[in-house]
Amino acid sequence: MTDQPRPADTAAGTSTVPSTAAEKPAREDHLVTTLHSLSLPDGPLDYTATAGTVVLKEEPEGEEYGRGAAYAEPFSVSYIAQGTGGDEPRPVMFAFNGGPGASTVWLHLGLLGPRRVDSGDAGSPAAPPHRLLDNHETILKDADLVVVDAMTTGYSRPAPGQKPDRHHGLTADRDLIASFIIDWLSRNQRWTSPIYLAGESYGTTRASAVAAHLMDRYYVAIAGIALISPVLDFGTIRFHAGNDRPYLHYLPTYAAIAHAHDKHEERLLQDVVDEAEAFAEQEYPALLAAGLRLAPEQKREASARIGALIGVDPDWVERADLRVEHMAFLAELLRDQGLVTGRIDGRFTAPAGDGNSGRMETDPSIDQLAPSYTAAINQYLRSELEFSSDVVYEIMSGRVHPWSYKDFENRSVEVSSDLSRLLRKSPHTRVLVSHGYHDAATPFHASEHVLAQLAIPREDYTERIRIEYYEAGHMMYCHEPSRLASHST
């Protein structure tokens, strides 16, 4: 590998001589470019990888015009294919994970990048030493790739003298990522390239908000958005008094997880899911709405039906007043075996710390997957991309909390209106939605419901939105058949 600084590396963050002794030296970008080659069946794919932080600037508030002042130093890795030829500008995809508090290591080394981590899967998580493999299905074959970490995740930090919490909220985070994209397009002279966004989990909330903001604020039209394990309306997944929607939307996921643990012997997963979805859409809402008006025998019958669908004792369902909260379900499903079930991926299990606990102590799917990603990203950035930093690469950070949703006071946090507005304003934008059946963090039925309620013409819904399903969880790419299937869509 060779260190090849790109001309754009010195654009916005170059040091200048202070005009007065009192002024501090300007912040500088910290970027390293290396050359790589990926061997593919069709021949080698040569590419550069530029890793590091750039200095983003903003005009001072309250001034009609002012020189830009440094306010953030986001970390990213840009992969640019070499020698691809062609007269048309190559597409570029900007990708990020969610949380809030998750770095983009998951999409970076799990699905999209030219290298991928060998993480193992449910029942056989990878043991140290952890390995990186060539990713023959990388998106780099079709588009250049930029993976960026949100503030306080990865190596992204505020500029010195700035506070990180100003970026810890839906609107401020949206604006920061949009500014990064605008800056990257200018630095790399890629304004005519088709632009794609890919987000996972809360990253889909971010992607929808960023795409709409780019169009509303800058008139930048996004060619396509990949929403992986999406959450577009938090009211569909947040359990709280008076909100019955999550109980309805989670039930098909519970049934799918029960199927993964042999609670529906000799039945096909799709048959179980179809039955659960029909119940959740037709009978279940009326049962919950009836409340105390439901006769005791009707409640017992409903408890038996729900218990059979989701693989738990009907008496437990009845005591829960027919309302099964997801953390309680994950602790209950395999209690008789002394196990708890994964939230991010319900196929994973681990021994229960407290066999009587009403909630699982920790998420076995994250516990069993994260170590391989942690080891891989830290080794990869230093040894292959030749980038190092004196701060910790934050795989998952609780330091972003409290996360601000101040613009949604007294109403549900949602970006479905952003996505609807974008699709109305930008007729060429397309959306790919990917769901894992065993994802108990962002249940597929909730997403289906929100997408079906978008304020767009029916023909746009049928022609511009594509929905795919995988027999895995939130990060469906840790399941090898799902990973390969996702690249064929």
In contact, 197 and 209? CB cutoff 8 Å:
no
pTM of the model: 0.92
Quick one: tokens of 150?
A: 């949100």
CB atoms within 10 A of CB 3: 9
Q: Is the backbone of residue 12 left (phi > 0), alpha (psi -120 to 50) or beta? A: alpha
Non-local (6+) Cβ contacts of 223 within 8 A are 91, 194, 195, 196, 428, 429, 430
Q: What pLDDT is stored for residue 63 in this prediction?
A: 61
User: Distance between CA atoms of 317 and 1, rounded to whole angstroms?
Assistant: 59
Low-confidence ranges of the chain (pLDDT < 70): 1-25, 62-67
Backbone angles phi, psi at 285, to 5 degrees: -60, -40
pLDDT of residue 17: 38
* Burial status of residue 248 (CB atoms within 10 A of its CB: 0-12, 13-18, 19 or more): buried
For the chain, where do the domains classified as CATH 3.40.50.1820 start and end?
7-15+25-235+369-487
Encoded tokens for 107: 């999409």
Per residue in 78-135, pLDDT (tens digit) is: 999 998 777 789 999 999 999 999 999 999 999 999 999 999 999 999 999 999 999 9
Note the pLDDT of residue 24: 58
* Cα angle 84-86-92, degrees, rounded to a multiple of 5: 65
Class of domain 7-15+25-235+369-487: alpha beta
Distance CA 291, CA 300 (A): 13
pLDDT of residue 21: 38
Residue 65, pLDDT score = 61
* DSSP 8-state secondary structure symbol assigned to residue 166: G
Whether the CA torsion 307, 310, 311, 312 is positive or negative: it is negative
Three-class secondary structure of residue 195 per DSSP: strand
Cβ-based neighbours of 25, under 8 Å, separated by 6 or more:
15, 16, 18
> Can you read off the two tokens belonging to residue 390?
């004196």
Residue type, 316: W
- What pLDDT was estimated at residue 338? 96
